[in-house]
Amino acid sequence: MPPTAGGGGGPSGSASAIVADTASGYHVLRIDAYSRTTETPTGEYLKSLPFTVGGHRWCIHYYPNGNRSEAKDYISLYLHLDESVTKAVKAQLKFRFVGDVEGQAVTLEEVRSYNSQTGWGNPEFIKREDLDGSKHLRGDSFAVRCDVVVTGEFHAEEAPEVTILASVSVPSSELHKHLGDLLLTEKGADVLFDVAGQTFAAHRCVLAARSPVFSAELYGVMKESDTGGVVHIEDMEARVFKALLYFVYTDLFPAKEEGEGEQDGDVLSQHLLVAADRYNLERLKLLCEKKLCDYIDVGTVATILALAEQHHCHGLKKVCFDFLSSPANLKAVVASDGFKHLTRSCPSVMEELIIMLAN
C-alpha cells in the first residue's frame, strides 16, 4: 500500500521553473556608396527594409552623421519597432560589423522596452574617421549585422526535480611539504654540496628537474668528478644556498628566520636573486624582485637598481625608476655613496635615468 501522510514514507517532491519564451534572429544591412550617404544631415536617417523577429516587424535606422549633434562625428545605428503595439515589446540587440561576426560570441545589450514606432541603439557605433581607415570599408561599402532577441512573457512550467549529489572533498596538495621533509631528513640523498665550509645533502633528480643548470652540473658534461662526490659551490654564502634548496624543494620563498631583521631580509633577497639567476630559477628570481620592491628606500635604491640592471630584472628596475621620479627622493639618493657606485658600475642606467627626467 502507498504510504500515507502519517506513515513512514519519504516526502513527495516536485519542481517548476520560471521561464520566458524567446525568439532570435538577425538582419544584415549593407551600405553601398557610403561616401554619398555622408551628405545626409545630422539627425536624419536612412532606413533598411523591414524584417521580422519574434512575430514583430523591425527595421534599422542608419544615421551617417549621427542621430544628434553630440554624435555628429559618428555613425549611429538604431533598431526600430516598425509597427503599432498595445503592449511594449522587450528585446535585446547587438550591432556588429559583418567581418567581426565569425568566431566571436555575441554579447547582447540590456533588455529594452519598445513601444509603437520607437527604437533603441548605438549613437556612437563608430567614428567616421575610424571607419575610413578600417578593414570594414571596402570599395566605398560596408555591412553591419543586427542581432535581435525578443523576450516573451514570463511563465511557470514543470521542471525536473533538482537532485543534490554528494560531493567528494579533495584536500590541498601537500607535495611541497613532502619534498620539504625529504630535504630536511636527507632520506635517499645522493649528492653533497660544500658551501663556505658547510655541507648540504640533496637529491640529484630533484635538483635536475628544477634547474637546467643543476641538470648540466649533475648529469651532463659538467658532471662532478670529485672522488669524494662532493660538489663545491664557490662565491655563495651557506645561508643563501640553504634558502635556494628550500625553494627548489618547496617552490616557496624561505620564511624569515628567528632573530632576523629587516636589513637581513634585504641582503638575503639580493644574494638569493643572484643565485636564482645563476641557476636559472625564474620564479625564485621574480619572488626576490617582489621582495626587494618592499625594501626600496633612499638608502637602498641605488644598490637594488644596479642589481636589477646586472641581472636583467625589468620589473624591479621600473619600480626603482618610479621611486627616483620623485624630485625629493632623487635629491637624497644623488648624495649617497650607493649612487656614486651606480654611476661607475652601470653607466647605461644613468643614461636612461637622464632621459626619464628629461621627459
CA pair distance 339, 316, nearest whole angstrom: 17
CA pair distance 287, 294, nearest whole angstrom: 11
Q: Is residue 135 part of a domain?
A: yes
Closest CA to 209 of 160, 110, 280, 294: 280
Q: Which of 90, 124, 156 is the last residue of a domain?
A: 156
Q: For residue 213, what is the DSSP state? A: H
Q: For residue 14, what is the DSSP state? A: -
pTM, full prediction: 0.55
**Phi first, then psi: what are they for 146, rounded to 5°?**
-110, 110
Q: Is residue 290 part of a domain?
A: no
Q: Is residue 329 part of a domain?
A: yes
Same domain, 276 and 232: yes
- CATH value at residue 215: 3.30.710.10
Give the per-residue pLDDT at 6.
Answer: 54
Give the per-residue pLDDT at 227.
Answer: 44
CA pair distance 292, 301, nearest whole angstrom: 9
Same domain, 55 and 150: yes
Q: Is residue 110 part of a domain?
A: yes
Same domain, 215 and 111: no
CA pair distance 89, 112, nearest whole angstrom: 8
Give the per-residue pLDDT at 332.
Answer: 87
Q: Which of 281, 316, 331 is the last residue of a domain?
A: 281
78-107 per-residue burial string, b: 16 or more CB within 10 A, e: under 16: bbbbbeeeeeebbbbbbbbbeeeeeeeeee
Same domain, 61 and 141: yes
- CATH value at residue 29: 2.60.210.10
Same domain, 58 and 151: yes
Pull the grid cell for residue 140. Answer: 566605398
Distances, alpha carbon 135 to alpha carbons 50, 97, 142, 175, in Å: 28, 10, 9, 52
- How much is the CA Rg of the chain, to the nearest whole Å? 35
Q: Is residue 10 part of a domain?
A: no
Same domain, 94 and 212: no
Q: Is residue 4 part of a domain?
A: no
Same domain, 206 and 327: no
For the chain, report the end-to-end CA distance as a whole number of angstroms. 90
Q: Which of 156, 186, 206 is the last residue of a domain?
A: 156
Domain that holds residue 120: 20-156
CA pair distance 359, 354, nearest whole angstrom: 9
- CATH value at residue 316: 1.25.40.420
Using DSSP's 3-state secondary structure scheme, residue 56 falls into strand
Closest CA to 18 of 160, 163, 157, 162: 157
Same domain, 90 and 145: yes
Q: Is residue 161 part of a domain?
A: no
Say which residue the cell 637602498 belongs to.
300
Same domain, 217 and 340: no
Q: Is residue 144 part of a domain?
A: yes
Using DSSP's 3-state secondary structure scheme, residue 263 falls into helix
Same domain, 137 and 26: yes
Same domain, 227 and 146: no
Convert the pLDDT of each residue in 109-133 to its tens digit: 889 999 999 999 999 999 999 998 7
Pull the grid cell for residue 91. Answer: 528585446
CA pair distance 282, 279, nearest whole angstrom: 9
Convert the pLDDT of each residue in 13-54 to its tens digit: 788 888 888 899 999 999 998 999 999 999 999 999 999 999
Distances, alpha carbon 177 to alpha carbons 181, 241, 279, in Å: 6, 19, 22
Same domain, 132 and 97: yes
Give the per-residue pLDDT at 21.
Answer: 84
Name residues of the chain where pLDDT drops below 70. Answer: 1-9, 103, 221-228, 259-262, 359
Number of structural domains (the chain) is 3
155's CB contacts (< 8 A; 6+ apart) are 18, 19, 20, 21
Pull the grid cell for residue 49. Answer: 527594409
Q: Where are the alpha helices (DSSP H) in 212-253?
A: 212-219, 238-250
Give the per-residue pLDDT at 1.
Answer: 52
